[in-house]
Structure 1
């Protein structure tokens, strides 16, 4: 792997983590007390997954090329992040993080594609609480992978 590609990925990774942390701060403060607030929280949860998926796409593009089946792209990309690619890269997500983000991915799909569907405040709030309670595992996984990238870059210097 070229040093420039690795450096670019590390920079992008750090930038995306800042965006993800900002979104998490907003999600922590959000509530479902009105329909508008429920929609706003849904939008934040949707954006959180999209920010994570953008990060996963860059990792996949840098290390192991593209996902072949476009009809299963989102599911396969997330699954790939839970896999170690021997002699290429460690897994980015633990089993715990993968399961949590699989649920968030499912919500993102419903949110994005259900134009006539009203969000159920209790379900959106439950997802928020689940994300918040499991977020430490995701944060650890992201941090560990960012450290891996930094070490790989140092090896090439």
Structure 2
């Protein structure tokens, strides 16, 4: 089976599994960074936090491409894509995520931008800590909301045959 033939909902669920690994790695890296004061562990935490939001953005891009049939473009496409996921598209899909989750994702999206544009050795633990502390609850909420969306898509596929 080629990658094109994989059910999009299965790809989304697979991405969630990968993201759960990232969450664990962030927590492990943070514990090691806190105990050792080793900046290399902090670099790892920053990179995995970057990957956390990037993984969800891949899910959002897939939904936008396959279901909405368009992906935002332009300078602010990352922001537009996130905003779009809070909207119901009548006749196509419900909102993928809640406004509350979007607000939490904004923090990780912004941090990803920092990681892409600043050398990691400039990262400050006090800037990273709030993201680390909030990560488990944000992931749990995201997992529930994405799972509800996947369930909707599977039910719709069953109804349409």
Question: What TM-score, normalized by structure 2, do the two folds share?
Answer: 0.86
CA contact (8 A) 1:13 1:55 kept: yes
SS at the partner of 1:82? coil
Match of 2:22 in 1: 23
**2:83 corresponds to which of 79, 82, 86:** 79
CA contact (8 A) 2:53 2:108 kept: yes
* CA drift at 1:122: 1.5
Match of 2:111 in 1: 107
SS at the partner of 2:76? helix
Kindly report the root-mean-square deviation, in angstroms, between the aligned alpha carbons of the 2 structures.
2.0
* CA drift at 1:116: 7.4
* CA drift at 1:14: 1.5
SS at the partner of 2:75? helix
Aligned partners of 1:144 and 1:65: how far apart in 2?
21
Q: Which has the higher contact order (CA 8 A, sep 6+)?
A: 1
Give the length in aligned residue pairs. Answer: 153
Residue 145 (1) aligns with residue 136 (2) = no
Match of 2:133 in 1: 129
